Structure 1
Amino acid sequence: MNATRRSLGLLGLAAALALPAAAAAQDGRRVVTGADARQGVNLTVYNNNLALVRETRRVELPNGTFVLRYEDVAKAVRPETVYIRDVSDPAAVTVLEQNYRYDILTPSRLMELYVGQDLTLVRENPATGQESRVRANLLSTGSVPQANYGYYDPYSYGGGYYAAPSYVDPAGAVYRTDEGITFGNVGRVVFPAVPDTFVARPTLEWLLRSTGGARTIEATYLTYGLSWQSDYVLVLTEDEKQGDLAGWVTLRNDAGITLKDVRLQLVAGDVQIEPQYGGYYGYGYGYGRGGGYGGAGFAEEGMFEYHLYTLGRNTDVADREQKQIQLLGVDGIPIEKKFRLQGDSYYFVGEYGAPMENLQVGVFVEFVNAHSAGLGVALPAGVVRVYKADSSGAQQFIGEDRIQHTPREERIELRLGNAFDIAAERKQTDYEILSSNLYETAWEIKLRNRKTETVVVEVLEPMAGDWEILEKSHDYVKESARLVRFDMTCPPDQEVVLTYRVRTRY
């Protein structure tokens, strides 16, 4: 008896929920709101091709149950993330049902929906040019329906599995006319009306119950297709001891929506995004002197384990647009220039008969993201492009490197390329196998500086296994358990020779 009552209760509840929807559909009570009703938009863009849209619209709502058609949303919206509420009185609007409509009007889709229905074929007499109209019933589009073995496409409508739409050739369609069954070039197809299922653009629809009146509705949703990246320009002074750093944000909008007068915020950091439907989500110039950090640019603040950058003014974000906004501009940053010769750990367990010539000496510039240098802020990951003026004063590009998200007071290292005027070669002068897992090798490294000033070359030797340096011509620094650094001072036009012997146990 109790089970029967529960079943009847559930049926009654389902019927009660269905009644408002049916009544709203029968009454035709539908409210349409578009971009012209927007009062405010907040756009938060993440590094990984994802954005959060939060917007408010002023809408006149009827009393009772009705359908709210919410137009002008992002093409790549994730419908399952949509949230709607009344800003001033959340209890004034109740959501009964939510739909995302993306059945966009196309000739092929129109043909598919008119299968089994009447339409008109307009025929032209080629001799006279006179048109005649024939009533016809569309029996088949002539295309074979394809199984939806779709692939995941976050840019498709709804951001989910996407099956490429079938193409319908009107000449391949099959019709029934008073003359019989026909197909081929039977005339121009004229449809009597556009079905209600079509929308001009992706649209959200809600079945709502409201107390009525002018309400401020806030809608929030995640969308794909919006991403940003940081790009930096570092201009070195003539003596290469200082640099002017300018940072730019490059914002790209492929989300299928244009937003005007937007409060723009950017989140830097690796935000975890759970893959949907087995799909894959990725984790997201010019130069000039800036006017400092913040102001009309971006203001930075910590948020959870990420960093949030808020633009100090509103801006427009157009669909299919790439926009650049200055992030920071700081002059006179102290710069260190370094030269490095990098070795390899496998050198110490093998025998090498011939010398290794023409080794590349890398050139690096380093600076500290320090408050004392005018920085001291969280720097988002991006590419730093470095310039220096030539003798005529024209800026020349001298290299670039990518930095990761860098907290304040941390050192930034940029590799710009290889030194042209520093030659290096390495030669193994002795190799002994003392036992099955014990080796002794001796090395000679020659450095020749063809520059006009003295430089210091850091020779980095990654050691293997358990190691011990038995003999050496120069002192070294043990940077880690398996890394040794020799700082070699190289005067102009002189050759400097480093020798050492190392015992290695595996």
Structure 2
Amino acid sequence: MQFISKARDLKALHMIVYEGGFASVNEKRTINLSHTTQWLRIEDLPKLIETSSLIIHDLEVNELTIERNKGLSENYLLRFVQGEKVLFQFKDQPKTQYRLLEHSPDLILEDVDSKEVLINPKGELSLIAIPEKALSSPVVECRVHVNESIKKAFMFTYLTEGLQWQAQYKAILSNGHLTLSGWIEVKNSSGTSFYHVFLQTMAGITSRVRGPEPKPEVMMVVPSQQVTEETVGELHLFTIPFPVDILDRQQKQIQFMQEKNIPYRLFYVVTSHDKHPLTTIEWQHKEKIPLAKGIIKLYYQKENGNLFAGEERMPYTAPASKVQIEFGRAVDISSEHVILRRYIQDDKRFEEHAYTFYNAKDEAVLVIVKQPVFQEDWDLVNHSADIVYKTANELQLSVTLKSKETRKITFTIKMKINNRV
């Protein structure tokens, strides 16, 4: 006797989307088994499920068979490649790429290069690959052992490809303060739609080869209406407090944080190779929830609307930490670097550097000079700018430029000569 489990039996659906383009899914389905049931057939699974990851909890399974792509036919496949490139071969000729314009009732092909159109050509038509969207959902058949009649919700856990997420941030800058909103963006290209999903997203790097099989997660609705975050080892789990629908080919954004009236400062970072410095913004992240890595878009607030200022990657930022984002070059601030001279004195080698700046802006600006030092044992002498940062291999100096000011700074780096035998 066989019981067929379909999507209509679904009672709860929980999903964790990882940064690696996959998701861990937990389904609860009501299954009615009697002591005479020998086979459980599971249908309506995602098209891109990793069937080797499937776990059926609290049920003794002795054998598991996966069936895919039943019922494929020529007309079925050609429906999915209409408008796409295919291969066509005339007799005794090599295969050539064409675009399939129509396949029924007439075969109409367009030469990719010459744009010549062929109608019902005689030859062999072949596909470059089976379209992902033409793949049918797999069916899993399980030989089960049941001692008594059971009707209850069983949990299935599996991994599926085609789902990914990243954080998207939008920052609006106005009069020295900014408003920052963070959004969880989920993209579904799995070929399957998911409804009423209790959704979580995982930030961090997970191993797909050495890692253990996915463990079932507790399905629950968080009573708060705010997205929450918890740390799980080296990973960060964000929980959406309400169920969502994630349809195939859909991109969905869910806000997980917002900060208003955040003081920020702008400064400009230059290296020896730059003609114009990088515009850099810095602020203190004070919220309790961390900022997942993602993409940030910055806007200047204007009377007639927001002006797009730039876009950059946002690094992971823990609570109570500083955020620094570089989002463009300041073309109205110029920089020129020269090495004035190099010389050796005793067992030391000296380099004299000079930077010349011009600020064409209407306001004063702060410029940070980042100077790499390719020597472990070194020191700074005769500097005409303030030291901001000094490590074993980098020096940072700061200089404030008034509006329309030209200014030159100099410094000398003293390095020990390593005499190797």
Q: Which amino acid aligns with 2:229?
A: E
Q: Which amino acid aligns with 2:270?
A: L
Q: Which amino acid aligns with 1:267?
A: M
Match of 1:468?
A: 379
Aligned 8 A contact 2:336 2:356 in 1: yes
**SS of structure 2 residue aligned to 1:80:** strand
1:59 aligns with 2:31: yes
**SS of structure 1 residue aligned to 2:71:** coil
Match of 2:285?
A: 369
**SS of structure 2 residue aligned to 1:63:** coil
Match of 1:246?
A: 181
* Residue among 287, 299, 314 paired with 1:387: 299
Match of 2:161?
A: 224
2: CA distance, partners of 1:228 / 1:413:
23
CA gap of 1:109–1:207, structure 2 versus 1, over 3 A, is farther
1:261 aligns with 2:196: yes
CA gap of 1:38–1:495, structure 2 versus 1, over 3 A, is same
Aligned 8 A contact 1:56 1:218 in 2: yes
Aligned 8 A contact 1:67 1:207 in 2: yes
Q: Which amino acid aligns with 1:471?
A: N
Match of 2:95?
A: none
The list of structure 1 runs, each at least 4 consecutive aligned residues, that deviate by more than 6 angstroms after superposition, is none
Match of 2:113?
A: none
1: CA distance, partners of 2:244 / 2:368:
48
2: CA distance, partners of 1:104 / 1:479:
66
* Residue among 144, 151, 171 paired with 1:208: 144
Match of 1:104?
A: 70
Match of 2:2?
A: 30
Q: Which runs of 5+ in 1 are unaligned?
A: 1-28, 111-184, 186-198, 277-293, 345-357
**SS of structure 1 residue aligned to 2:52:** helix
Q: Which moved more, 1:248-257 or 1:39-48?
A: 248-257
Q: Which amino acid aligns with 1:360?
A: H
Deviations 1:325-367 (CA, angstroms, capped at 9, x unpaired): 11212211121211122237xxxxxxxxxxxxx7111110011
CA gap of 1:94–1:474, structure 2 versus 1, over 3 A, is closer
Q: Which amino acid aligns with 1:422?
A: I
Q: Which runs of 5+ in 2 are unaligned?
A: 77-121, 123-134, 212-222
1:484 to partner: Cα distance = 1.9
**SS of structure 2 residue aligned to 1:428:** strand
Q: Which amino acid aligns with 2:182?
A: G
1:448 aligns with 2:358: yes
1:419 aligns with 2:335: no
Match of 2:79?
A: none
Deviations 1:165-220 (CA, angstroms, capped at 9, x unpaired): xxxxxxxxxxxxxxxxxxxx9xxxxxxxxxxxxx9631111111222242322111
2: CA distance, partners of 1:251 / 1:377:
19
2: CA distance, partners of 1:458 / 1:320:
45
1:438 to partner: Cα distance = 5.2
1:319 to partner: Cα distance = 2.0
CA gap of 1:444–1:227, structure 2 versus 1, over 3 A, is same
1:433 to partner: Cα distance = 5.0
Aligned 8 A contact 2:388 2:396 in 1: yes
CA gap of 1:428–1:69, structure 2 versus 1, over 3 A, is same
1:379 to partner: Cα distance = 1.2
2: CA distance, partners of 1:504 / 1:457:
25
**SS of structure 1 residue aligned to 2:34:** strand
The structure with the greater share of residues assigned to helix is 1
1: CA distance, partners of 2:11 / 2:380:
72
Match of 1:121?
A: none
Aligned 8 A contact 1:77 1:221 in 2: yes
CA gap of 1:252–1:478, structure 2 versus 1, over 3 A, is closer
1:412 to partner: Cα distance = 1.3
2: CA distance, partners of 1:443 / 1:262:
60
Deviations 1:227-278 (CA, angstroms, capped at 9, x unpaired): 11110000001x2x210011111111122322211111111111222179xx
Q: Which amino acid aligns with 1:387?
A: Y
Aligned 8 A contact 1:50 1:224 in 2: yes
Aligned 8 A contact 1:231 1:247 in 2: yes
Aligned 8 A contact 1:468 1:503 in 2: yes
Alignment of 1:323-362 (within 5 A): 323-343=252-272, 359-362=275-278
1:452 to partner: Cα distance = 1.6
Alignment of 1:160-239 (within 5 A): 201-210=137-146, 211-237=148-174, 239=175
**SS of structure 2 residue aligned to 1:247:** strand
Aligned 8 A contact 1:297 1:325 in 2: no
Aligned 8 A contact 2:47 2:136 in 1: no
* Residue among 254, 274, 299 paired with 2:209: 274
Match of 1:430?
A: 341
Q: TM-score normalized by structure 2?
A: 0.76
Aligned 8 A contact 1:74 1:257 in 2: yes
2: CA distance, partners of 1:213 / 1:488:
77
Q: Which moved more, 1:315-324 or 1:223-232?
A: 315-324
Whichever of the two has the greater Rg, that structure is: 1
Alignment of 1:146-157 (within 5 A): none
1:94 to partner: Cα distance = 2.1
Match of 2:316?
A: 405
State the identity as a percent: 24
1: CA distance, partners of 2:210 / 2:188:
21
Match of 1:310?
A: 239
1:295 to partner: Cα distance = 4.8
